[in-house]
Structure formats: structure tokens, C-alpha cells
Chains A and B, each alone.
Chain A
């Protein structure tokens, strides 16, 4: 009486993509209403750029030289807020149970939430890119590398972030624990993206495309890992 109800589309790729898309749309709708990214996280990221300028004595040569690294540290700090917000959205009224009771695969939830954070961070990076160009005098010498690095590195940040955030989502201390767990895991992304940006902004004589390979491998590893373990991370006991 039960097996006949199993829609073949439950675990199909299309089914997963469709549910991810619904989750993505839902979270973007929430963002459009609540404007947390726009009104809080974006200004904070710009503020971080300003703090770096104060810390480095406002020296334009130094700022231009270190712009790639400062850009990515600002992204990581803002990512912590975005990821925390993404989990808080689901934790406020136990909406995580809807995912568990729905007929979608947990993989879809993982991809959907990752996609949401990816989108938000990419918007944030556009603002930060303008920021480093205007405030730090960075020059875009390889736009294609710049864009691909942003997309690939941010995929890694978003997937690892979603994975860690859900692993600790039931804890009362999740806001303070997330940075400690997530940041060490993201060190390879910081290194790789900074190097690749060094090439894209013409401050370091390295081949940025090679670093893009490392970033791609990182993102792929976390996407695979997340798809494998996300179901068990969602379980309650």
C-alpha cells in the first residue's frame, strides 16, 4: 500500500534541481522582504574594507598590493553572517521539519541552501569589487579570471558553510561556534582565491588559473561530501 506511492521523480536529478530551485526562490523572496543582506550584511562588508584601510595606515601602495587578500577576508566575514542568517531563517519556527517531512531528497535542501548563499555572496562580491577598485585603487587586469575565481571560490565557501552550519544548527551556541569550525576549513579557499585574485588584479606574478583548479577541487569535494552526509545531519536523534 505504500510502495506504489513512491513517485519515481523523488530522487531523480530533475526532482532535486526543482526542489533546490524552490528553496532558492523562497529564500530570495524572504531576502526581498526582510532586506537583511542589503541593509545589514552589505554595509558591514564595506565597513570591513574601511577598517582594513585604517589598520594599514591608509597607505595606497600597501592597500593596492594586499587588495586580493583583504577582499577575501571581507567576503569570509560577511559569509559568516550570511550563513548564520540562512540557518536562522529555518530555525526560527522549526521549518527545517518541513524539509524532513517533504518528499524531496536532503541533497536538494543542501544544494538549495548552498545556492542561496552563493547568490547572496556573489552580489556582495560585486559591491566589494567596486569597493577595492575605488578605495584601494585595485586594477582589473584579467576580468575573466576575476569572475571565474569569484564563482568557484564562493561555491566552496557556500557548500562548506552550509554543511558546517547545519551540523551545529541545533546548538544554542551555533553563532559563536560556526566561525571556529568553518574558518580553518576555509583556509585553502582564502589562500587559493587570494592567489588567483593576485593574478586577476595584477599584483602577484602567479598563474591564477592553476589556483582556480585547487578552488574547483575544493568546491567539488564539499559539494560531494555535503550531498553524502546532509541527510544524516538533518536527523534529530
Chain B
């Protein structure tokens, strides 16, 4: 698919990548990814260790440069090296990595307030994040260094929520969370997608069937140029195959498998 067409689709596709190669040092962490994600879609990414999941997320967050390929993320041409463009791209994503990116010497509240100031988020957004992640006043007033791993993870997630991102990039959001935390996160993901955000979620666990089916099956097929069958809502591994943009309703989800730094079954 030519890039001119991609630009045409840019308004509907939150992420559109073609033959993307990303190097970490001189190792091709991504060896040629073709991936289209509709706005409002939830895409779960699964794959073995070293398949390139984290790199895919970091790339989509605008944190990494690429070696070859083309595409766009949130309408930003990935080839545009302009630092202002890059900055605007980055401000619109919410990325949760392996690290929680919190200062252990500050309380959860202070950490979140600092994050809010860095991305100029409203205090209301911060409050919303606190409520969604069910952070108690007691927890907020505690130094992050003395919180448990799961609690820290929830604070970090609140830090993502307060950004009100258009594109959520969550790297194993369930990691170290208890069952209550997990359902909290699952609900958060679904609600974000329903509100029009796009989500790319790395997971090691089998994605719960009811999660993938949390979306009504009667999908309205959008005006996409490609004629992909709308298989969203079922476990359609590999449905991101080259060039078939799948139109879907906000909140619909699918599973994509990554291996060897490429989306499975794309060749």
C-alpha cells in the first residue's frame, strides 16, 4: 500500500505501519511490522520474550527512531524528524512501561502532581485518574518507595490516565496487580476505547474471552479503502496482515501475535 493512501486513511487509523524495522543497538528488535489500528480499537499484543512487544510500544510512543519502513501514528508521519512534531506526538500518548517512572522519595500524590505539571494536565484529570485506579488518600500520602509493587503500578497507571491520551500503550498492565486491580484496569481499558481512545496492550496472559467479546458483535464497517473482513471481536490472530485495514466500532478488540519482531502471519 502506497503511503499516499495511508495519508488518506490517517484520519481513521490511529496507527498504521508498513515494513517497520527498529534497531536496538544493531539488533533488529522489530524486523518488519505491518500493523493497522483503527481509532477506538483495543489491540492486545502477545508474543514470546524478545518478540519485540516493548519496542513496538516504545516506538508508538515516539520514543524510538526507526531504521526503515513508513507509516503514521496519530496522524504524525513517522519520517518527520522535526522535534516539535515529535513532541506533539508524544504528548498524545499514554505509555506505561516496565518501569513505573516514579520517584521513590516522593509520595504518590507528589509524583502524580509533578507528572500532571509536566504534561500540563488539569487537576480534574489527576483526580479522575486517582478515582479510576482507586487510590486511597492514605496511599496517596505514602512515599512511593514504601509502596508495594502493585500499588506502585496503580499509581503509574493513574499517571497515564491523567494525560487523557489518544493512544494508550500499556506494557503488561496486569503485572503485579491483584484481581481487583486487574478488573479495575480491564474496565479502564474498555471505557477508554469507548470514549474514542485507541489502545495497544501487551499481555502475556490469555486474553479473557469475555473481554474480547465485551464489544457488541454488530460492527459497522467503516469507509476503509481496504476490504478486510470485520473479524474484530473474536480472537483473530494475525488479522493485522499486510494492508487490510479493518474497520470497527469503538471499543472493539482483537489479538495480534508478535514474533521475531514482526506481526505474525503478515507474509
Contacts and interface: CB of A to CB of B under 8 A. Distances in A.
Question: Looking at chain A's contact residues, is the secondary structure mostly helix, strand, loop, or mixed?
Answer: helix
A94 B99 contact: yes
Range of interface residues on chain B? 35 or more
- Residue from B24, B87, B95, B104 having most chain A Cβ neighbours under 10 A: B87
Interface residues of A, number: 35
Contacts of B120: 7, 9, 103
Contacts of B23: 237
Interface string A82-114: 000000010011110111111111000000000
B103 A231 contact: no
A5 interface: yes
Given A26-B114, A103-B118, A2 B88 contact: yes
Nearest to B76: A2
A183 B101 CA distance: 31
Nearest to A27: B103
A2 B85 CA distance: 10
Contact of B93 (A11, A94, A101): A101
A30 interface: yes
A25 to B, nearest CB: 8
A94 B98 CA distance: 9
B231 to A, nearest CB: 27
B189 to A, nearest CB: 19
Nearest to B152: A93
Interface stretch (B61-69, B126-134, B240-248, B252-260): B61-69
A105 B91 CA distance: 11
Contacts of A1: 11, 75
Contact of A5 (B65, B88, B143): B88
B87 A10 contact: yes
Interface of A: 1-3, 5-7, 9-11, 18-19, 22, 26, 29-30, 33-34, 89, 92-95, 97-105, 231, 235-237
19 contacts: A7-B120, A11-B84, A18-B117, A93-B99, A93-B100, A93-B102, A93-B104, A94-B97, A97-B95, A97-B97, A98-B115, A101-B90, A101-B93, A101-B95, A101-B119, A102-B91, A103-B120, A236-B64, A237-B65
Given A22-B114, A34-B105, A94-B97, 10 more contacts: A2-B92, A26-B106, A26-B110, A30-B105, A93-B100, A101-B119, A102-B119, A103-B87, A103-B118, A235-B65
